[in-house]
Each structure stands twice: as C-alpha cells, then as structure tokens.
Amino acid sequence: MADAAKLEARMKKLERAQAVRDDIEAIKRLKYKYFRCLDSKLWDGLAECFTEGATSSYSGGKYSFQGRDAIMKFLKEGMCETRVSMHHGHHPEIEVTGEKTATGVWALEDCLIDTRSNWGVHGAAFYRDEYVKVGEGWKINHTGYERVFEEMWDRGETKSLKITQNMFARPEK
C-alpha cells in the first residue's frame, strides 16, 4: 500500500510540474501577443491581454495608469498612426507564485520612429509583470518597465536615412 501512495504522490508532483510548465508557456505567449499587438496596432487584441483592473508603470513610473481602459488610451495615443515600433521581449524569468498568480521579468529592446516629426527612439529596459489566471486564461494584472537606457535622434540629420517599408503607410500613387 505504501508503494501505491508513493506512486500517487509522485504522479501528483509530476502533474503539478507539468501544469507549471504549461502556465509558464501560456504566460510567454501572452507577453508575445502583447508586443505583437502593440507594434501592429491591434488594439482589441492588446486589450485582451489585460485584466479590467490592470495597472501599469512605464518608464519607472513616469507613465502610470489604473485600469485597462486608461492603459489602452495611453498606448493608442502614444502609438499614433505616424509612429512605427518594434518591441522585443527576451529572457523571460517567470515564477508561478500560486494556482492563479505569477510574476515575470523580461528584458526589452525597443525602437520607435515618428514618421511625421522624423525622430527615433531606441532603448532597453526591464519589464516587471504580475499575471493572474482567469476563466479564459492568463492575463496581465500589472506591467511596467524601468529603462536601462534610452536614446533619441533626429533622423533628418542623416540625409540618406529613409524608411523603405512601413506596414501602416498608404501606398503612393
């Protein structure tokens, strides 16, 4: 009987370990979706990444918001039609802290170009996120980053610099 109990305990431990791996993979996919939807300006998809009561603290708290709607308003306005961007999240350190909670740290590299004003930003940061598991899966309950560095430049100073493709630009006629 003791062997059956040990086997059952071992099976439960293995099942829990697999569930944690599955949760971590789902959280990675959530953050990847966050970056993709942000850069593609897929606002409905991006909103799906957050809980209704989510909070944010971008740039070390310089841009802090409470609630999904406030976060989405900030992101939509910041990523207006004249701005193209690339956000890459790397090296996730995700810890499942409970049945329905987790935290994560992500290294970020980003680049943003404003095509109207012809300036650019390049930077690196560390995101610190909190996640919760709700009926439809994992969601971001808090997100924010602190910059490692940020640099800006006037793209007009380099006369040969031009954008040759832009998924948001209207084709010239």
Distance CA 61, CA 123 (A): 16
Confidence at residue 1, expressed as pLDDT on a 0 to 100 scale: 58
What residues does each domain of the chain span?
2-157
pLDDT of residue 173 exceeding 60:
no
Percent of the chain past pLDDT 90, that is, above it, reads 84
User: Can you give the pTM of this predicted structure?
Assistant: 0.91
What is the tens place of the pLDDT at every residue in 120-172? 999 999 999 999 999 979 999 999 999 999 999 999 999 999 999 999 987 66
Place of tokens 């207006």: 80
Confidence at residue 10, expressed as pLDDT on a 0 to 100 scale: 86
Of 70, 83, 69, whose CA–CA distance to 38 is shortest? 83
pLDDT of residue 6 exceeding 90:
no
What is the tens place of the pLDDT at every residue in 14-30? 888 899 999 999 999 99
Report the pLDDT averaged over residues 89-107: 97
Confidence of residue 58 (pLDDT cuts 50, 70, 90): very high
Q: Are strands 119-134 and 137-154 parallel, antiparallel or unpaired?
A: antiparallel
**What is the CATH T-level fold of the domain 2-157, as seen in this structure?**
Nuclear Transport Factor 2; Chain: A, (3.10.450)
Confidence at residue 172, expressed as pLDDT on a 0 to 100 scale: 61
